[in-house]
Amino acid sequence: MKLAAVLLAAGKGTRMKSDRAKVLHRVAGRPMIEYPVMLARALEAERVVCVLGHQAEAVQAALSSRFGEGAFEVALQTEQRGTGHAVLQAMPALSGFDGHVLILYGDVPLLTAGLLRRLVEASRDRLVALVTMRVADPTGYGRIVRDTEGRLVKIVEHKDATLDERAIDEVNAGLYCVRADFLGPALAGLSTDNAQGELYLTDIVAQAATRESVASVSASAEEVMGINDRAELAKADSIMRGRVTLDLMKSGVTIHGPETCFIEHGVVVGPDSEIGPLVQLRGATRIGAGCLVEAGCIVTDAVLEDGAHLKPYTVVAESRVGAGAHVGPFAHLRPGSDLGADVKIGNFVETKKARLGKGSKASHLTYLGDAEIGADVNIGCGTITCNYDGYQKHKTVIGDGAFIGSDTQLVAPVTVGANAITASGTTVTQDVSPGALALARVKQTEIPGYADKRRRREEARRKELADKAGKAK
């Protein structure tokens, strides 16, 4: 079936109490408006029209950066005069379109493709299909009014409903699939003669009903839940994250304590990878197959290649961890870290814009910033690249097979040649030739018997103090 989609997202979302447009608040890491757009694209809608009003520019920018500018059109609704008025704004963008139009809300992120497919199917040979649900408390919703045969007659908004109608617990979810050639004339027939003085989109249902051309599908309250405040936002976030972890588990990922993990929508994890409790995987993170991400790791916009292993409480951002590399516990890979295969980064190591070649190791207590490090390099404990002179950052280059002794300071810009060695405690201020030993530390001297001498001196001092105290009595 030929489809277009209209997303209503012009409302202010007053109950969010936010300066940010409601639809930009995040659910499982993504601005909530991305979800209906993703669904519209999944259903191959030929046109996606977003009706924007409140903070339209910010919403448009967010959508463009995610989907590209050509992926959707914007219809501005500067004054929010009702859902019918909102769809009217989208009509110019639908001109010439002759299929069915899906009408969705920008603040209903838990919607599923399955429900939308049922809705589209129900709209076949009909002017209008809509989604209804039964709720314990229908206050605020439009009520579904049916005749004695159960045929849908109309939707009555809460504020316009009689007491009898208010007792109806079947309500309008606000999702429709409408034949395009019916939509325009139906909208033209709307009036503001109602309790709110708005153009109600819901009134097109009665128009289609007189032509016996309405179908409805029912949904659970969860999947059509609208987000109006921060409590609902938290609930939707939790449900969406539950779906994300469930999908990953179904695809062959082991997750220990999935309810404790924060895995954002869109994160990729390969089969036979294992995720520990309290792990956060965010943004564009991609994790390969057979990886192990242990408890408490926070990984943002990073790539882990097959078999990579993050030990507990490792923080990784905008970095790449090569196949079979081991990182942590308590390591910090800052943006621009690029670890080759089989690299080992140990506890309390921080890296930033640092490339380490295959098999290199920095096992303990080290800072590597703005560094280009070859393969099979051993970085000893306590090594520091002194990359910042207070004004500018400088680069450290270390060749393949070099051995950096413990407690080396590399004062950048500096190059250590392949297979060179720096002695422990060396401050490297000049380039080191390949294969050479750089040694820059004070030569060790020895004072024989010094410890005894020192002890005797201390004993004498204490005796003198005691004698003084005795005389004073």
Cis peptide leading into residue 413 (ω within 30°): yes
Please identify, using beta-carbon distances, which residue of 11 and 357 lies nearer to ligand UD1: 11
Please identify, using beta-carbon distances, which residue of 80 and 406 lies nearer to Ca ion: 80
* Residues making contact with ligand UD1 (CB under 6 A): 8-11, 51, 77, 80-83, 85-86, 105-107, 141-142, 155, 157, 171-174, 200-202, 226
3-state helix, strand, coil in the chain (%, to 5): 25, 30, 45
State the binding partner of 10 from ligand UD1, Ca ion, none, CB within 5 to 8 A by kind.
ligand UD1
- Report CA 249 to chain centroid distance, whole Å: 19
Residue 408 near residue 424, CB atoms below 8 Å: yes
State the binding partner of 184 from ligand UD1, Ca ion, none, CB within 5 to 8 A by kind.
none
Smallest gap, in angstroms, from Cβ of residue 140 to Ca ion?
A: 7
Spatial CA neighbour of 410 closest among 22, 402, 312: 402
Q: Which residue is nearest to Ca ion (CB)?
A: 226
* Residues making contact with Ca ion (CB under 5 A): 226
What does the angle CA 191 – CA 193 – CA 199 come to, to the nearest 5 degrees? 45
364 is catalytic: yes
Smallest gap, in angstroms, from Cβ of residue 13 to ligand UD1?
A: 7
Please identify, using beta-carbon distances, which residue of 28 and 130 lies nearer to ligand UD1: 130
Long-range contacts of 309-314 (CB under 8 A, 24+ apart): 312/276
State the binding partner of 82 from ligand UD1, Ca ion, none, CB within 5 to 8 A by kind.
ligand UD1
State the binding partner of 155 from ligand UD1, Ca ion, none, CB within 5 to 8 A by kind.
ligand UD1
Report which secondary-structure segment, H or E, holds 310: strand 309-310
Residue 36 corresponds to which amino acid? Answer: P
Please pick, among 25, 85, 309, 364, the residue that the annotation labels catalytic: 364
Smallest gap, in angstroms, from Cβ of residue 183 to ligand UD1?
A: 14
Distance, in Å, from the CA atom of 77 to the CA atom of 80, rounded to the nearest integer, reads 6
Residue 394 near residue 410, CB atoms below 8 Å: no
Please identify, using beta-carbon distances, which residue of 9 and 327 lies nearer to ligand UD1: 9
Q: CB within 8 A of 285, min separation 6: which ones?
A: 264, 267, 268, 299, 300, 301, 302, 303, 304
Please identify, using beta-carbon distances, which residue of 52 and 295 lies nearer to ligand UD1: 52
Smallest gap, in angstroms, from Cβ of residue 76 to ligand UD1?
A: 11
Smallest gap, in angstroms, from Cβ of residue 240 to Ca ion?
A: 19
Instruction: Give the pair of three-digit tokens for residue 109.
Output: 């992120």
Please identify, using beta-carbon distances, which residue of 77 and 360 lies nearer to ligand UD1: 77
Smallest gap, in angstroms, from Cβ of residue 104 to ligand UD1?
A: 9
Distance, in Å, from the CA atom of 189 to the CA atom of 130, rounded to the nearest integer, reads 19
Distance, in Å, from the CA atom of 330 to the CA atom of 327, rounded to the nearest integer, reads 8
State the binding partner of 174 from Ca ion, ligand UD1, none, CB within 5 to 8 A by kind.
ligand UD1
Instruction: Catalogue the active-site residues.
Output: 364
